[in-house]
Amino acid sequence: MALTLSACSAEDVLIGKDCTSTEDQTWDVTDPDMPLAFKIDSCRVDVDACPALCTYMMTVKNVSANSGASACDVEFEGVTTHIKATYEVNNDGVPGCQINQPGGF
């Protein structure tokens, strides 16, 4: 079995620093446009459609993440839809966790 470390240095692994962190954001939507209303309605009838709603909101709100939502929590309260997206971000500011850019120095 091989141990592979990506982006983090051995020192970071030994002292417990993490090169990614989990963050979340919440949005309350009361008057969605058509594309958002469709995603909300899809989530309302099929829980498997909710992660796409969270990822869509992250895109609309320009949330930078390693990928789409890693977790999604949606609650419906009258005309308001509460959307909470959880996602991973790189901690490029932590020593040893910088992502090497192609052609960079």
Spatial separation of the C-alpha atoms in residues 52 and 3, rounded to whole Å: 33
Spatial separation of the C-alpha atoms in residues 50 and 40, rounded to whole Å: 8
Which residue do the tokens 């954001």 mark?
25
Q: Is 23 helix (H, G, I), strand (E, B) or coil?
A: strand
Residue 35, pLDDT > 90, answer: yes
Tokens of 29: 């939507």
| Band of residue 92 on the pLDDT scale cut at 50, 70, 90 | confident
Can you state the angle between helices 50-60 and 34-45, rounded to 10 degrees?
160
Q: Write down the pTM of the prediction.
A: 0.71
Residue-level pLDDT at 99 = 60
Higher pLDDT, 39 or 99: 39
The domain spans of the chain are: 18-90
| Band of residue 28 on the pLDDT scale cut at 50, 70, 90 | very high
Taken as a whole, the chain contains a residue count of 105
Higher pLDDT, 86 or 5: 86
